[in-house]
Amino acid sequence: MVTYTRPERLVVLTGAGMSAESGIETFRGANGLWEGHRLEEVATPEAWRRQPDLVRRFYNERRRNLMHSLPNAGHEILAHWQAKISVKIITQNVDDLHERAGSKDVLHLHGELMKSRSCGPNETTRRMKGWEMTAHDRCPDGFQIRPHIVWFGEAVPNMSTAMELVKSADCLVVIGTSLQVYPAAQLAFETGADVPIHLIDPDANSLNQMGAEAWPMKASEGLKKLDNRWFGSDQC
């Protein structure tokens, strides 16, 4: 459904394409491998138990790369919209670029790269000060820490909250996701019947299964066009 009406309760679902323009690589390369390892060897609870050093190295490298990356124009547009309408972001990404751009209401479905989680019973999380996690690092209670990432085979704790957010939206914008990773992909189909949906992705035409308005382009380009449509001369 095409709408030129400015939304009041916007929900945005972002995937890897949101951060691609910031130089953030996806977990999985074109061959499905990372340094010769299958993703299941570095992103499952079994991998953590079997070879924690490899898992730590994987996330240390991603964390180090993230610390040298900056939010892109798309992140900044979403942050600017906060001053005009309600903007709630649900992201499949584990980076902190939405927050660093200034977005305040960000729900991470798959965890946060810049946080650690205690392996103790309370599973408390803490913001990491640097990029490196070592085998000697412990939480304040003395338990070993692990990356605060939702691995394959683990529950997505924020999923129910995300569902409620989508159902409350008067507009949904889906950015840079293949809509192939469940349960997150299901969110795009949870809006009300009359709620307009915009799909921004270079492959938007082939990915569109929900009657959305397709914007087959990069995240920042699509968001600039939406910004012009909704706010026109009311630029930030």
Q: What is the SS3 assignment for 206?
A: helix
Which residue in the block uniquely carries the two structure tokens 């979403």?
78
Instruction: Specify whether 110 is catalytic.
Output: yes
Residue pLDDT tens, the chain, 236 long = 455 689 999 999 999 999 999 998 765 555 555 556 787 889 999 999 999 999 999 999 999 999 999 999 999 999 999 999 999 999 999 999 999 999 999 999 999 999 999 999 999 999 999 999 999 999 999 999 999 999 989 999 999 999 999 999 999 999 998 777 777 778 988 888 889 999 999 998 887 777 889 999 999 999 999 999 999 845 43
Q: How many residues does the chain have?
A: 236
Q: How far apart are CA 139 and CA 86, in angstroms?
A: 36
Q: Is 220 exposed, middle or buried (0-12, 13-18, 19+ CB in 10 A)?
A: buried
Catalytic choice (75, 80, 98, 110): 110
Residue 13: enclosing H or E segment and its boundaries?
A: strand 9-14
Q: Is 223 exposed, middle or buried (0-12, 13-18, 19+ CB in 10 A)?
A: buried
Residue 236 has what pLDDT?
38
Residue 64 has what pLDDT?
95
Q: Which amino acid is at 87?
A: V
Q: Catalogue all structural domains in the chain, each as residue range(s) with its CATH number.
A: 9-24+72-110+155-231 (3.40.50.1220), 27-68+117-149 (3.30.1600.10)
Q: Which residues sit opposite 11 in a β-bridge?
A: 88, 172
Residue 235 has what pLDDT?
45
Tell me the angle at which helices 219-231 and 73-81 cross, rounded to the nearest 10 degrees: 30
Q: How far apart are CA 6 and CA 11, in angstroms?
A: 13
